[in-house]
Amino acid sequence: MNTTNAHPLPAGPATLRRRTLMACSAAVITLGLAGAAHAQGSTPLRVILPVSAGSGVDVILRSAQVALSKALGGQPVVIENMPGAGGITGTQAAVRAAPDGNTIAVVSNNHAVNPSVFRKLPYDSLGDITPITVIGGSPFVFVVNPAKVTARNARELQVLLKGRPGELNFASSGNGTIIHLAGELAVSEMGGSARHIPYKGMGSMITDLMSGQVEMGAAAVVAVQGQIKAGQLRPIGVMGKERASALPDVPTLAEQGFPGVDIAGWFAAVGPKGLAPAQVRRLHDAFVTAFNDPEVKAGFAKRDDQLILNSAEEAARFLKSEQERYAALVKKANVIAE
């Protein structure tokens, strides 16, 4: 008998049960695979940098981007530069993000400076964040354009500043930023005066320093190390307590008779308020692993950066103490956000 066009017989109860069980098992497997893919980090970690591309913090974070992704089990890491208003723009975006562990920020000194130089912030700089770790620090150096400024050390620059009050200018990465504060502090400690020229980030500031559009300014060593070695910028003095190993022949400003200048950069990973302790631990451990990667660590040493990688609790105490310290420095240097 030809059965090609015959209708199949209806399935019995046992057959239907088997088909139902198979369908449910397939659904469970599919959901399990989707869950595993999510757990492995299919959702990118968004790292907001409230600074411009080319700044010291930007260079440092990008050097560890691959290692950080690896430390997070393959979760993609997307670094987003969001400069503006001395870091307020990027930080505001970070604190408004969902506290799910997929959006964090890496803030720098500006985060602790801003409460003292801005009358009102759109967030609480301590209450609206969850500290994860202070990753590390970078030395600052005061530099001049060699074609515009003849001074080769701090004493010679002091003579110029006092002899030409208000004529020279110094650049910063923005009004009220740590670079602005560092520049004001150096000039005031030398007993001189100079005009402040603010930029919207470190990259454009350094470009104009090299071209002679502005004559001097403070910067992270990592951001100007190449220009110093090429002779495009001349270092006047390192601005911290110790010399920078990347610039061993450059004395500190304190060594040259200006002990009141003691300022250096730092950068810390923070999440939005309410970030769960488990997420804090996950991210903290990933940063520790990533920045202890041999290649990343070697780059740190070459750039003269210092690893800190403290606990979340220590990071919280550090941020609070820095905010208090900068309040006093802001008052001393008379820095006002315009």
Question: Rounded to the nearest 10 degrees, what angle do helices 202-211 and 221-229 cross at?
Answer: 20
Q: Which residues of the chain have pLDDT under 70?
A: 1-41, 337-338
Is 173 in contact with 180 (CB distance < 8 Å)? yes
Which pLDDT value is given to residue 332?
A: 77
Q: What is the rounded CA–CA span in Å between residue 128 and residue 148?
A: 44
pLDDT of res. 8: 38
Q: What is the pLDDT of residues 259-285, one digit of tens each?
A: 999 999 999 999 999 999 999 999 999
Q: What is the pTM of this model?
A: 0.77
Name the phi and psi angles at 83, rounded to 5.
-75, 170
Average pLDDT over the chain, rounded to whole?
87
Q: Check residue 22 and give its pLDDT.
A: 42
Residue-wise pLDDT tens digits, 22-66 = 444 433 333 333 333 344 347 999 999 998 887 778 888 999 999
Residue 223 CB neighbour total at 10 angstroms: 26
pLDDT at residue 338 in the model: 57
From 144, 116, 138, select the one nearest 58 (Cα to Cα): 138
